[in-house]
Amino acid sequence: MGKIVECAKVDPSSGCTHVIRGTTEEEVLKNAAEHAKQHGIREVTPELKAKVKAAIRDEK
């Protein structure tokens, strides 16, 4: 079972409907960092990383 995180769950103000997937939490974090670039976020701060981690859930 994979892991997903909805971009809107991390940043509701973005209005982004992108869903980030990965097989592990680490992979989701890596893909989220990649996706963050589309929002002009070049560096994932520990604070942002914690927000992403908190929003990760199992894919149904």
Question: Could you tell me the smallest distance in angstroms from the CB atom of residue 42 to Zn ion?
Answer: 14
16: exposed, middle or buried (Cβ count in 10 Å: 0-12, 13-18, 19+): middle
> Residue 5, interface with Zn ion (CB under 5 A)?
no
> Residue 44, interface with Zn ion (CB under 5 A)?
no
User: Residue from 7, 20, 28, 52 that binds Zn ion (CB under 5 A)?
Assistant: 7
The backbone region for 15, taken as left when phi is positive above 0, alpha when psi lies in -120 to 50, beta otherwise, is left
Residue closer to Zn ion by CB (options 7, 55) is: 7
> Residue 28, interface with Zn ion (CB under 5 A)?
no
